[in-house]
Structure 1
């Protein structure tokens, strides 16, 4: 619609230009107070007035001169911009119309105010009002047309996007089917309302043995004719639970192939498709024959079990000869306090090497136990400083031999942690052993413990050979080991740090390694959560060795003659008899009423557990205190010892002082 050619009205245009601020304020109040223009409440004043100045200026321009076609092009352009802006801001057609109509009313009001003070004819006034009416009509029409065009384009784009999405979905489904076929997956679909099989690909027929000519299996036929009877109910339960609660379906079960009845293990994935209103339409799934994979995994598990059994047996066989060797060193110590220097050197060397070999065996077994989840922490709340101090005491002889200085800085107050005292001591001992191993002689090693934000950090630093940057990320992997310093042979198995990382993780902490490079030392930081308070208070004092308070009758049973006889020499403060198998022990027990029995678990013909139970049934040893000695130290072995009625389970090679203390604490009166 073109505006009428009634102008020009330059005086009116000048008046409207001067009243632009007043008109804008009136318009803003009208728009914001109109509840039918809902989007206006979300827009700022700047966003509302965005295109108003341009529209207003073009209307005044038309009022100044005759409205030709060329003079209206800018007005139409501004109207289209305004319409697009309002569409993008969520305006509906009626909201856009009411907003521009409010602007027209405000301009017409200002025009009436102008004519009230001007001496113009009624026809001139009517012409001006008509011109404004035509201009706003054209503006509103153009803006609304722009909104309609935008909506049409959006609808067309949506339809186009839908078509493209459908085409892409079809291509995706085709690619999925090709990929499933290439991966050996059977694909199928079951119709839920009719309980029929809708479709199966060729691989599905191959897995199930169902002839293609007979068509796809229904869900009932699948369970009835194919699934192993022992697995059918579990499959049905899982299927119905997923149907009821939604989500992805996944399970593994056995089938007996149709035709040859071959046993296969399959894995099923699937999902229920729902229509509007939550109505379940179908179930689409995939089936994979994983028999080979499961057999391979079982073979690996069996290999792992055999490996664990081998390591346990190896540890047992290595610990057996260590026991008499360590006993021999203890006997040399008991013979005289003033041994010749050469003999004392040999005795200390034997003890040190026994301790080193024992640690290697323990670390090797710990790697296996950790990987199989067999380690159980014996937790207690205690002062972490005690574990650090114990680790220093364990490694002090080696450090002294190499003239290394261990500087320890710890908080003056106790630091409670909830953890396994033995395992935490092992962590710090392993780290300190590494620091000594990879440092030159006459070096300094520092241990600094500090509490920060409910965590205790223990930093162990050395000035040794350092860690190459390329190796830092792999330091905690099993069997990764740096080359030793020049002049020293390879030592250890490369599993100590792996054990450290796993044990720290089991305590809810973390450990990190850092180094400034080769030759610049290394730092290991252990971070552990602190406990709220102590549950028990342990006060340790170093007491001088006590002599036996009374002489006990002790029966030692071990098929390793050297181990039994050397232990008897160590326990010379008591009356000791030795037996080298279960039958001999039972025979001796008939007349030697032992107060204590120390027996080896791995006896020939009769296990130590069985022997302990039979000794309990003899009058002379029914009340004897019993302890087992074994090269096996897994938790299940400790349980077996307790079930056999033994008070203690010692892992070879046991410290002789530990056995002496055990006998000292026996309170059974002499018979």
Structure 2
């Protein structure tokens, strides 16, 4: 056994001395092999990559006659080799062919050494060939496993991308469907309202023609229809502006007392015209807040006009109060028709109106409130009872932090 070990030690020394020449021989074989198409895309350095490490491990196994002790190191190098080859575009068959050429080069070198060395025993040569076959087979298997694993990871990645793309496509299709339905809803709603307006116009004209004495009544009826049509158009224009506003949100410090006074003054005429009582409640501890004043005012006016529209008798209450966690609350309370429990889920949807009320408008007031509240980071809530009125409130931050612009310095 000692002679065998000494013979293998001499062989290993000879292989180490020829390592550069053997590597060069192997690379020429690889570059010249038509079955390994992707080798043409690699440099000499990229082709060699882990070959020196694998070569060293084979020499250690030959000398120690023990593959098990080197399995861990050989597997690491082989797996890295398989991963790199996969990333370099190799197919599995090209990887196998490349390593088989490496086996052939090593076996040829062992044969040449045995032929040139009279004292090298036949048993040493057979053992060297067997161990080389075993190690290269182990390297090939580990490399293939890593390449397949890399392929599977890439397939999983592509599958995930495909699933996400499919999900996004489904969402887009749903959005397109929703947009189409909304467009049709707008068309039906506007057509319905315009038909009603035109019917009343026709009635007013017939009344003026048939009965000159009632001409003033007919003109009054026609004027009311003009005002109602203007309300419809104004709501639709306002909502389109809210949805289409992609400008950067600007904020400013403003006094809530001044805003409260403006809102009370703006709504006083319309409440008095319907015989309603307008009540204002302002928390005196509140002073200046930072937000978008115009959008806050839009929210308040839409809530107030909605309350006035659906209240025939009683009162409208506007209150502005402090709220916990550095926030403040805007609340509008009415004694109007209220909202039935089965309708409350749809209250903020576009074109929703009290079903049993013939009230002009597109049903967009609360949809506008919802969108503006989201923009202002406001928390929107409401409570309502059919026939007993409603309470709508929005809780805003005392200081609204606007989103940074995309190219703004950090």
TM-score, with structure 2 as normaliser = 0.45
Larger radius of gyration: 1
Structure richer in helix, relative to its length: 2
Specify which structure has the higher proportion of strand: 1
Query: Larger relative CO (CA 8 A, sep 6+): 1 or 2?
Result: 2
